[in-house]
Structure 1
C-alpha cells in the first residue's frame, strides 16, 4: 500500500515538474521561445516579472475592449511608449519590476473609472 502511495506521489511530482517547465516557456504575454530582446529574456527568466507581464497584458487587453475608440487609441499609444521604456531596463530586474508596477497602476486607474461608471 505504501509503495503504491509513493508511486502516486512521484507521478504527481513529475507531472508538476514537467507542467511547470512548459509554464516558464510560454507564461509571459509573449512566447518565451521566441524572445528576441534582453528584456524579454529577463521577463521569461524571472517568475515575478513573468507574472507581472501576464497580469499587465490581461488588464490591457480587457481594458481595450471596454473603452471607446478615442480612449482606446490613447491607451494603445501609452502602451507603445511604455514598451519602449520597459526595454530600456534591459536585464535590470528592479527596474523592470518598477516599470511593470507603474504600468499596472495606470491601467488599474482606467479600470476603476470604468467600474465607477457601472452598473454592470
Structure 2
C-alpha cells in the first residue's frame, strides 16, 4: 500500500481546512464533510469522521476554499487508513495548469501570513 506523492511541495495546514467530498459510484452520489490536512497541486490528505464506505480508486469530487478562493477538482482515492473514530485517506486530483497556479498562489499567501 505504499504511496508517496512525488510533487515539488506539499503544504500542511496548521488547522485543517473544511471541505466537501462527493463520492461517485454508479448512480450513487454521497456528499460528506472532510478536513484537508495537507494539499499539493495534484493531491490531498483528508480526514473524515463520517461513516462512508470508500475504497481505493473510488471516484470523488472535492470542493474547498483557501482564503476567499473556491477550488473544485475531480479525482480518485489512492490510499485509506482507518482509525477507531475516523479515517484518513489520500486522493489524487485531476487538475489543470490554471488550478495548479491558483492553488500555489493561495498557499503562498497562507505561508506569508503564517510567518508574520
TM-score band w.r.t. shorter chain: under 0.3
TM score, norm. by length of structure 2? 0.27
Larger Rg: 1
TM score, norm. by length of structure 1? 0.26
Higher share in strand: 2
